[in-house]
């Protein structure tokens, strides 16, 4: 826990203070991480989001049919996706795919003395390794979430269009009417917070590995479990703040 | 006592314990500008640990380490970084960044700490790799080259910023005799005219006697002997004679069992495969 707080403080320094002392981030490593963390995860995100959209629409159809309120299916798909399912499920994918990879990569660097070598070359590991991953995650997770939302809405449309008697224009109209911008923004804020949680937990686990290859494996598993738990608890807290307390 | 003047490294009463085991026990020595100090000793006797204390990446249990006249054990991270810009370190494993190519590894300190143009960096990288006999390997990844080659790339990287002080952890292990001679020549050449000072850990006695201006032999956590190569060669200490001649019989204990080897007596034997013997193959 002490290490984790230290990592966060150091990260804040390198992001908020160091750029004003002339040590600006290098752009190329951030882009490389964005491709790895974000672009390569896009197919998995698309498949997940589509399945969720389809599932939500089918469940909504089932429940709303008895009330004769099938016209509200797009509302339900849209709101559930934007506020909850989009940010959470896409964070789950990114934890499993990118969070674990970052923990394993940094952990391997730790046990093979690469981190120590950086320090001896007077290169700060947080600046050199954590900052680009953090910024990439902070951009890509919300971006993936927006992308996933679109695909999920497409899944809902597929059910409405082909299994029920909605027409396309009707679905789009209804969906757009039901959601306001706050639904979108709240989801974006959530995924930015999740991005922070995921990448700091993964980097912290990697940088503190001890005990060779076995240690790398344990740290990777631990980081996935911790990130999942922290993300889900944080989601409940944020939903409480955004939609309950207000 | 020294003909070279300025003291670059001053280690006084250095003690380091891991748990209740003292790996370094009351170590004191000095290194002067332009010298090559060779540290010898059996595997696991604390040579790499000693180097780590000198570069400030481990903190001693007690004692003092001064580099360029400044106490490194008491420094904040920022100050340690400032000192580290003046030194280069070759790790025992090479410690190359696996995600970068050979050329990028050597270029890394230059890109991070200088404002040189890409062309100039490329020229320096090529020149450093040439010094260690690796012309044309710039674009390979560390996992595509042999262990000895990794060592030499690590050396090229350590030399990238023209350090005043070089630490080499077993620079010649894994190298053939010719490459060993090349690396030794390089170390000698760089220290000529007191340009650079070097601390070299080595098991390789030919190489050690070829380059050393002074030698230290470590054993059971303390300094068994120190002096010029001639003093070490003619030492009357039987442990030193056994080590430099590589004889199996002598005063240095072979760790035959844990009872005899008090250094590792804190490690409890762990039974595995409970009831059966340790390496008993289950049959039937
Ligand atoms: N981080 C550490 N934690 C616990 N023990 C360590 C650590 N680093 C080194 N040691 C112990 O210190 C001793 C010396 O190790 P090392 O300096 O690597 O030896 P050498 O380089 O001389 O072969 C070994 O017995 C090793 O087990
Ligand atoms: Mg060693």
pLDDT of residue B4: 52
Whether residue B230 sits in one domain with residue B121: no
**pLDDT higher than 80, residue B23:** yes
Kindly give the number of the ligand 1 atom that is closest to the alpha carbon of B169.
Answer: 21
Residue B203 within any structural domain of the chain: yes
Is residue B212 in a domain? yes
Q: Least CA distance to A122: which residue of chain B?
A: B81
Q: Are residues B72 and B175 in the same domain?
A: yes
Same domain, B204 and B74: yes
Q: In chain B, what residues touch A113 (CB-CB under 8 Å)?
A: 91-93, 95
Q: How confident is the model at residue B173 (pLDDT cuts 50, 70, 90)?
A: confident
- Do residues B4 and B53 both lie within one domain? yes
Q: Flag whether residue A246 sits within 8 Å of chain B, measured between CB atoms.
A: no
- Check residue B119 and give its pLDDT: 94
Q: What is the mean pLDDT of residues A134-160?
A: 94
The DSSP code for A25 is P
For A120, the closest chain B residue by CA position comes to B84
What is the chain B residue with the closest CA to A128? B112
Q: Does position B270 have pLDDT exceeding 50, yes or no?
A: yes
Residue B250 pLDDT exceeds 80: no
Q: Which of A117, A124, A128 sits opposite B95 (nearest CB)?
A: A117
Kindly state whether residue B127 falls inside one of the protein's structural domains. yes
> Which of B67, B95, B153, B162 should we substitute to test contact with A (largest number of A Cβ atoms within 10 Å)?
B95
Give the whole-number percent of chain A exceeding pLDDT 90: 71
Q: Measured between beta carbons, which residues in chain B are less than 8 angstroms from residue A114? A: 95-98
Give the pLDDT mean for A130-158: 95
Chain B positions in Cβ-Cβ contact with residue A105 (cut-off 8 Å): 99
CA A108/CA B137 separation, integer angstroms: 24
Q: How far is the CA of A174 from the centre of ligand 1 (A)?
A: 68
Query: B160 near B141, Cβ under 8 Å?
Result: no
In terms of domains, do B123 and B62 share one?
no
What average pLDDT does this structure show over A154-176?
88
Q: Is residue B93 in a domain?
A: no
Tell me, yes or no, whether B117 and B211 share the same domain: no
Cβ-Cβ contacts under 8 Å, A116 against chain B = 57, 91, 95
Are B214 and B281 found together in one domain?
A: yes
What lies within 8 Å, CB to CB, of B146 at 6+ separation is B174
A3, A52, A193, B13, B41 from A230: Cα distances, Å: 17, 22, 11, 47, 49
Q: Is residue B137 part of a domain?
A: yes
Chain B hits for A119, Cβ within 8 Å: 57, 84
Would you state the pLDDT for residue B265? 54
- Overall average pLDDT of the A109-129 stretch: 94
Q: Is B173 in the pocket of ligand 1 (CB under 6 A)?
A: no
- At B73-128, the pLDDT tens digits run 989 888 899 999 999 999 998 899 999 999 999 999 999 999 999 999 999 999 99
pLDDT over 80 (residue B281): no
**Percent of the residues in chain B that have a pLDDT greater than 70, as a whole number:** 87
Name which residue sits closest to atom 27 of ligand 1, judged by CA.
B44
Q: Alpha-carbon distance A76 to A214, whole Å? A: 46
Q: Do both B45 and B82 map to the same domain?
A: yes
Residues B41 and B131 reside in one and the same domain: no
Predicted confidence band of residue B2 (pLDDT cuts 50, 70, 90): very low
pLDDT of residue B128: 94
> C-alpha angle with apex A105: A31 to B96, nearest 5 degrees?
90
Q: What residues flank ion ligand 2 with Cβ within 5 A? A: B 48, 92
Q: B156 and B176: one domain?
A: no
Measured from the Cβ of residue B210, the count of other Cβ atoms closer than 10 Å reads 19
**Domain contains B91:** no
Please choose from B18, B50, B93 the residue to mutate so as to test ligand 1's pocket, defined by most ligand atoms within 8 A of CB. B18
E strands in chain A: none
Of B129, B162, B195, the position where a domain reaches its end is: B162
- pLDDT for B3 beyond 90: no
- Is the Cβ atom of B45 under 6 angstroms away from ligand 1? yes
pLDDT category at A177 given cuts 50, 70, 90 is confident
- Count of Cβ atoms closer than 10 Å to residue B267 Cβ: 10
Out of B162, B189, B216, a domain closes at B162
* Gap from CA of B94 to ligand 1 centroid (Å): 17
Residue of A119, A123, A128 lying closest to B57 (CB–CB): A119
Is residue A87 predicted with pLDDT exceeding 50?
yes
Between helices A42-65 and A73-80, what is the axis angle to 10°?
Answer: 140
When scoring A107, A120, A129, A131 by the number of chain B Cβ atoms within 10 A, the one with the most, hence best to mutate, is A120
On whether the CB atoms of residues B85 and B94 are closer than 8 A, the answer is no
The overall pTM is greater than 0.95: no
The nearest alpha carbon in chain A to B53 belongs to: A120
In terms of domains, do B62 and B124 share one? no
Closest C-alpha among A8, A11, A7 to residue A132: A11
Q: Shortest CA distance to A33 belongs to which of A141, A134, A110?
A: A134
Domain extent for B124 = 98-162
Which residue has 């003619």 as its token pair?
A: B234
pLDDT in tens, B259-268: 444 555 555 5
Q: What is residue B260's predicted lDDT score, i.e. its pLDDT?
A: 45
Q: What is the pLDDT of residue B258?
A: 46
Look at residues B116, B133, B162 and tell me which one is the last residue of a structural domain: B162
**Residue B1 pLDDT:** 44
Q: Kindly state whether residue B92 falls inside one of the protein's structural domains.
A: no
Q: What does the pLDDT read at residue A244?
A: 84
Q: What pLDDT score was predicted for residue A165?
A: 81
Q: What is the average per-residue pLDDT within A44-62?
A: 93
Structure-token pair, residue B231: 């003093």
Per-residue confidence (pLDDT) for residue A72, from 0 to 100: 86
Quick check: CB of B12 below 6 Å from ligand 1? no
Is A113 in contact with B84 (Cβ distance < 8 A)? no
CATH number at residue B263: 3.40.50.300
Q: Are residues B252 and B152 in the same domain?
A: no
CA A54 to centroid of chain Cα atoms: 21
Task: Tell me the average pLDDT of chain A.
Answer: 92
Whether A33 has a pLDDT exceeding 50, the answer reads: yes
B55 CB neighbours in chain A (<8 A) are: 120
- Contact B217 CB / ligand 1 (< 6 Å): no
What residues pair up with B9 in beta bridges, in sequence order?
Answer: B31, B67
Share of chain B above pLDDT 90, in %: 61
Q: Is residue B82 part of a domain?
A: yes
* Number of domains forming the structure of chain B: 2
CB contact under 8 A, A112 and B113: no
Number of A to B CB contacts under 8 A, please give it: 48
What is the residue whose two structure tokens read 């299994």?
Answer: A163
Q: Cβ–Cβ of A120/B108 closer than 8 Å?
A: no
CA distance B96 to chain A (A): 6
Whether the CB of B142 sits within 6 Å of ligand 1:
no
Instruction: Give the whole-angstrom CA distance, residue A232 versus residue A237.
Output: 9
Residue B254 above 80 pLDDT?
no
- In the predicted structure, residue A21 carries a pLDDT above the cut 90: no
Per-residue pLDDT at A174: 86
Residue A22 — very low, low, confident or very high, per pLDDT cuts 50/70/90?
Answer: confident
DSSP A61-112: HHHHHTTT-GGGHHHHHHHHIIIIIHHHHHHHHHIIIIIHHHHHHHHHHHHT
């Amino acid at each position: 826990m002490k290490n984790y707080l230290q990592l966060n403080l150091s990260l804040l320094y390198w992001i908020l203070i160091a750029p004003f002392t002339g040590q600006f981030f290098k752009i190329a490593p951030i882009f490389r991480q964005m491709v790895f963390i974000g672009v390569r995860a896009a197919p998995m995100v698309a498949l997940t989001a589509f399945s969720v959209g389809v599932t939500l629409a089918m469940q909504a159809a089932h429940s709303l049919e008895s009330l004769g309120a099938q016209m509200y299916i797009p509302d339900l798909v849209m709101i559930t996706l934007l506020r909850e399912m989009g940010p959470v499920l896409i964070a789950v994918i990114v934890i499993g795919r990118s969070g674990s990879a970052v923990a394993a990569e940094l952990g391997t660097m730790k046990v093979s003395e690469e981190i120590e070598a950086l320090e001896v070359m007077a290169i700060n590991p947080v600046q050199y390794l954590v900052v680009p991953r953090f910024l990439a995650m902070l951009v890509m997770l919300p971006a993936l979430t927006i992308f996933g939302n679109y695909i999920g809405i497409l899944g809902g449309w597929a059910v409405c269009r082909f299994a029920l008697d909605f027409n396309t224009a009707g679905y789009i109209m209804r969906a757009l009417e039901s959601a306001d911008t706050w639904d979108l923004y709240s989801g974006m804020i959530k995924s930015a917070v999740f991005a922070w949680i995921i990448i700091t937990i993964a980097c912290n686990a990697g940088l503190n590995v001890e005990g060779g290859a076995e240690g790398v494996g344990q740290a990777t598993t631990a980081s996935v479990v911790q990130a999942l738990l922290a993300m889900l608890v944080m989601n409940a807290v944020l939903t409480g703040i955004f939609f309950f307390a207000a | 006592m020294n003909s070279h003047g300025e003291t670059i490294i001053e280690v006084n009463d250095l003690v380091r314990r891991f748990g209740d085991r003292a790996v370094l026990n009351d170590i004191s020595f000095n290194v002067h500008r332009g010298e090559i100090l060779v540290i010898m000793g059996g595997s696991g006797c604390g040579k790499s640990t000693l180097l780590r204390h000198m570069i400030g990446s481990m903190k001693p249990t007690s004692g003092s380490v001064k580099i360029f006249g400044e106490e490194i054990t008491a420094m904040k991270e920022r100050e340690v970084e400032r000192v580290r810009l003046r030194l280069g370190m070759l790790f025992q494993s090479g410690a190359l960044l696996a995600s970068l190519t050979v050329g990028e590894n050597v270029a890394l300190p230059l890109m991070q700490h200088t404002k040189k143009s890409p062309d100039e960096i490329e020229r320096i990288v090529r020149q450093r790799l040439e010094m260690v006999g690796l012309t044309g390997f710039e674009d390979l990844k560390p996992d595509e080259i042999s262990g000895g080659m990794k060592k030499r790339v690590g050396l090229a990287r350590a030399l990238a910023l023209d350090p005043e002080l070089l630490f080499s952890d077993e620079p010649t292990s894994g190298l053939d005799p010719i490459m060993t001679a090349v690396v030794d020549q390089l170390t000698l050449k760089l220290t000529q005219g007191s340009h650079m000072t070097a601390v070299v850990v080595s098991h390789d006695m030919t190489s050690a006697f070829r380059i050393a201006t002074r030698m230290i032999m470590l054993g059971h956590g303390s300094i068994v002997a120190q002096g010029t190569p001639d003093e070490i060669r003619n030492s009357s200490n039987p442990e030193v004679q056994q080590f430099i001649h590589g004889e199996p019989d002598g005063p240095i204990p072979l760790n035959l069992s844990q009872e005899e080897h008090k250094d590792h007596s804190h490690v409890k034997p762990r039974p595995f495969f409970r009831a059966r013997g340790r390496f008993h193959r289950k049959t039937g």
